[in-house]
């Protein structure tokens, strides 16, 4: 039986984080799309999705940065919303003091996670955007099913503290995700986002599928790829 990965909060003193890139842009893939956002992209990932647009996070050497150095970079954008992404950010123990520090400074904090890590150590004041992998990603069966219970508890404690995203490669992925939503998320208060892999599933086709089923999900297009179509990183 596959064992769920669990995030750990235990951290050695002076632990550094492995950072892929830091940048200021617009949030592009959640209900907060369009808002100014500072991104902390941590290096490393435990999955290898076949459409991955951030493979440099695990193929290239990371920058080692202290918590203080990262916070100093964020501080150049006062009161900004901050998203911690990857790669898979929850693989790094240093992610948790980073989240705590950003929340303590009053930032709205988003964490994008690939669903394979149990998110019970993430404080409810932060918003987790959980990306549940569909079969077309090549990373199917990576979802930590324990997260279904964790999501329910988080939403009771802190409404809007979870958003659930499915990235769809084709109509088979749509059917898989639709069935997942109906089976596991029918009574879930989280926003549910369906996002097409743009060169595989035309948005118009996905729109039609959602409308035909009257499925209570939100069609999500990657905003930054429309604004900056030639940029592969830093947006």
What does the binding site for ligand SF4 look like in residue numbers (CB under 6 A)? 45, 47-49, 52, 54, 57, 86-88, 114, 139
Q: Which CB sits closer to ligand SF4, 107 or 165?
A: 165
Q: Which CB sits closer to ligand SF4, 45 or 95?
A: 45
CB of residue 46 vs ligand SF4: minimum separation in angstroms? Answer: 7
Q: Which CB sits closer to ligand SF4, 87 or 94?
A: 87
Cα–Cα distance measured from residue 221 to residue 197, given in angstroms and rounded to the nearest whole number: 9
Q: Which residues, listed in sequence order, are joined to residue 111 by a DSSP beta bridge?
A: 84, 128
Placement of tokens 């990371």 in the chain: 62
C-beta neighbour count of 188 within 10 angstroms: 15
Nearest residue to 119 (alpha-carbon basis) of 141, 99, 140: 99
- Residues in CB range of 132: below 8 A, 6 or more apart: 115, 143, 164, 165, 166, 177, 180
Q: Which CB sits closer to ligand SF4, 45 or 209?
A: 45
CB of residue 137 vs ligand SF4: minimum separation in angstroms? Answer: 7
CB of residue 89 vs ligand SF4: minimum separation in angstroms? Answer: 10
CB of residue 17 vs ligand SF4: minimum separation in angstroms? Answer: 16
Q: Which CB sits closer to ligand SF4, 48 or 200?
A: 48
Q: Report the SS3 class of residue 69.
A: helix
Q: Report the SS3 class of residue 55.
A: coil
CB of residue 52 vs ligand SF4: minimum separation in angstroms? Answer: 3
Nearest residue to 102 (alpha-carbon basis) of 76, 81, 121, 88: 81
């Amino acid at each position: 039986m596959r064992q769920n990965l669990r995030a750990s909060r235990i951290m050695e003193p002076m632990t550094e984080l492995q950072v892929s890139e830091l940048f200021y842009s617009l949030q592009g893939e959640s209900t907060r799309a369009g808002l100014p956002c500072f991104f902390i992209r941590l290096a490393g990932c435990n999955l290898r999705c076949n459409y991955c647009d951030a493979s440099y996070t695990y193929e290239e050497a990371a920058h080692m940065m202290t918590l203080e150095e990262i916070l100093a970079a964020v501080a150049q954008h006062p009161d900004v919303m901050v998203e911690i992404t990857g790669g898979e950010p929850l693989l790094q123990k240093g992610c948790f003091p980073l989240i705590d520090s950003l929340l303590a400074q009053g930032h709205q904090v988003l964490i994008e996670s690939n669903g394979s890590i149990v998110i019970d150590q993430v404080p409810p004041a932060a918003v987790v955007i959980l990306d549940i992998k569909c079969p077309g990603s090549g990373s199917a069966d990576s979802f930590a099913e324990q997260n279904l219970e964790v999501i329910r508890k988080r939403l009771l404690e802190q409404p809007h503290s979870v958003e659930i995203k499915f990235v769809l490669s084709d109509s088979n992925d749509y059917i898989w995700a639709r069935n997942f939503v109906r089976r596991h998320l029918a009574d879930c208060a989280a926003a549910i986002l369906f996002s097409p892999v743009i060169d595989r599933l035309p948005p118009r086709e996905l729109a039609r599928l959602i409308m035909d089923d009257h499925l209570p999900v939100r069609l999500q297009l990657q905003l930054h790829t429309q604004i900056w179509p030639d940029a592969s990183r830093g947006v």
